[in-house]
């Protein structure tokens, strides 16, 4: 009888913290089109191994890297995480990164505000088409990532994620008093600036 294997749905085989460490290595070599042999050497490997696959697969799932013809490049998300403008920006980026994998987003929507069940690996197998041989590792990576992103505390309850962009309040001195405008910390585009100007023009008496 021919043996059949259950194909597992895509999942991060490692947590965000380990994926970021892999991104740091790519960043060390310029962050763009880094050849595979260079990364293998930096990791002390002579050839691709299961651990190397796990690092690349996890970093891709979290939208930290792209791969093309055996070269690896950091995404804008990874660059922002490695060099955040502020701690609040890093916090929001980590939570966005946690929700990047479709699997994680589905699990999060199901259990947010609730304790993570001890049977998560079984739930992944039964409800999320996860191969039984990898469901334990996938569950462990999910929990590690949730903790690293600040979404899972000692109470084991999956917190609500607030991924709003950090803002700053800019005071503006007017001829009669003061006004304040709230802007995203990362700045605005020229098009946004034009929209704001139109709104001000409408408001002028």
User: Over the chain (205 residues), what is each successive 10-residue block's mean pLDDT?
Assistant: 57 97 98 96 94 96 94 97 94 96 96 96 95 94 97 92 58 73 65 76 71
Torsion of CA 112, 113, 114, 116, to 10 degrees: 50
Contact 64, 81 (CB under 8 A): yes
Torsion of CA 113, 115, 116, 118, to 10 degrees: -160
pLDDT at 13: 95
pLDDT at 3: 42
Looking at the chain, list the stretches that DSSP marks H as alpha helix, in order from N- to C-terminal side. 16-28, 36-42, 50-61, 76-82, 87-98, 102-111, 120-127, 135-148, 190-203
Q: Per-residue DSSP letters for 137-166? A: HHHHHHHHHHHHTT-B-TT-BBPPP--PPP
pLDDT at 163: 47
**Residue 125 token pair:** 């197998």
pLDDT at 75: 97
What pTM did the predictor assign? 0.74
pLDDT at 166: 53
Q: What are phi and psi of 129, to 5 degrees?
A: 55, 40
pLDDT at 202: 76
d(CA 153, CA 89): 20
Q: What are phi and psi of 143, to 5 degrees?
A: -65, -45
pLDDT at 175: 76
Contact 62, 100 (CB under 8 A): yes
Q: All domains of the chain, ordered by start, with CATH? A: 16-82 (1.10.10.10), 87-148 (no CATH), 167-203 (no CATH)
d(CA 171, CA 187): 15
In terms of Cβ atoms closer than 10 Å to its own Cβ (0-12, 13-18, 19+), residue 169 is exposed
**Residue 153 token pair:** 């505390």
Residue 160: helix, strand or coil by DSSP? coil
Residue 172 exposure: Cα atoms within 13 Å on the Cβ side:
9
């Amino acid at each position: 009888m021919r043996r059949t294997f259950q194909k597992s749905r895509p999942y991060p085989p490692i947590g965000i913290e380990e994926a970021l460490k892999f991104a740091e290595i790519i960043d060390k070599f310029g962050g763009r089109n880094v050849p595979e042999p260079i990364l293998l050497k930096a990791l002390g490997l002579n050839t691709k191994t299961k651990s190397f696959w796990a690092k690349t697969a996890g970093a891709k799932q979290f939208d930290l890297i792209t791969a093309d013809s055996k070269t690896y490049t950091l995404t804008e998300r990874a660059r922002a995480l490695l060099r955040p403008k502020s701690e609040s920006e890093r916090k929001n980026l980590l939570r966005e990164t946690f929700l990047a994998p479709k699997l994680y987003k589905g699990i999060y929507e199901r259990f947010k505000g609730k304790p993570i069940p001890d049977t998560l690996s079984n739930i992944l197998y039964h409800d999320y088409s996860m191969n039984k041989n990898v469901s334990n590792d996938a569950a462990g990576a999910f929990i590690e990532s949730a903790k690293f992103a600040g979404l899972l505390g000692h109470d084991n309850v999956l917190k609500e994620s607030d991924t709003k962009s950090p803002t700053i309040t800019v005071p503006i001195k007017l001829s009669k008093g003061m006004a304040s405008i709230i802007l995203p910390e990362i700045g605005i585009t020229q098009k946004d600036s034009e929209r704001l100007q139109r709104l001000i023009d409408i408001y002028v008496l």
